[in-house]
């Protein structure tokens, strides 16, 4: 057996994950996930000034990355990007952020701190979540 290290997802690997997770979910719980990745970008004067990447699975959105260039911070760019996530109509939104990044930004958006983990070269990683609508069972 050979183990390969990839720095980017290939179509073959993406299809492998989708096909096998779908089959496993259908077999074990009788339904499949609604997994999708979304990337939202903000441009000003044809220049990329912010981006947000998230994935949605089982009606929960996880924000993976968000960045706004320093000269465009505190101008509503992050809020515009975040509002696109809210428009996905998930039951919950989760995010992880380091203490030197933006925990207070997410708290100000109504997120609650679920957990704080130490041990990242002297920094803390915050796990936050926000319920956006009741789960429909």
6-25: pLDDT as tens digits: 898 889 998 898 888 888 88
34-131: in CATH 3.30.70.1230: no
* pLDDT above 90: residue 107: yes
Q: How far is CA 11 from CA 15, 36, 39, in A?
A: 6, 14, 17
Domain ranges of the chain: 34-131
CA distance 35 to 91: 14
* pLDDT above 60: residue 124: yes
Comparing 15-24, 49-58, 86-95, the range with the smallest average pLDDT is 15-24
Stretch 46-50: mean pLDDT: 97
For residue 136, what pLDDT is reported?
A: 53
Stretch 81-110: mean pLDDT: 95
């Amino acid at each position: 057996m050979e183990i390969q290290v990839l720095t980017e997802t290939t179509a073959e690997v993406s299809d492998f994950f989708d096909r096998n997770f779908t089959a496993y979910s259908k077999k074990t719980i009788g339904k499949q996930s609604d997994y999708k990745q979304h990337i939202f970008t903000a441009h000003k004067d044809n220049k990329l000034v912010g981006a947000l990447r998230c994935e949605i699975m089982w009606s929960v959105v996880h924000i993976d990355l968000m960045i706004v260039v320093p000269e465009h911070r505190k101008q509503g760019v992050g809020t515009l990007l975040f509002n696109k996530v809210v428009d996905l109509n998930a039951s919950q939104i989760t995010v992880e952020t380091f203490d030197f990044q933006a925990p207070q930004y997410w708290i100000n958006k109504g997120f609650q701190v679920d957990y704080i983990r130490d041990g990242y070269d002297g920094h803390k990683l915050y796990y936050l979540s926000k319920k956006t609508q009741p789960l429909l069972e």
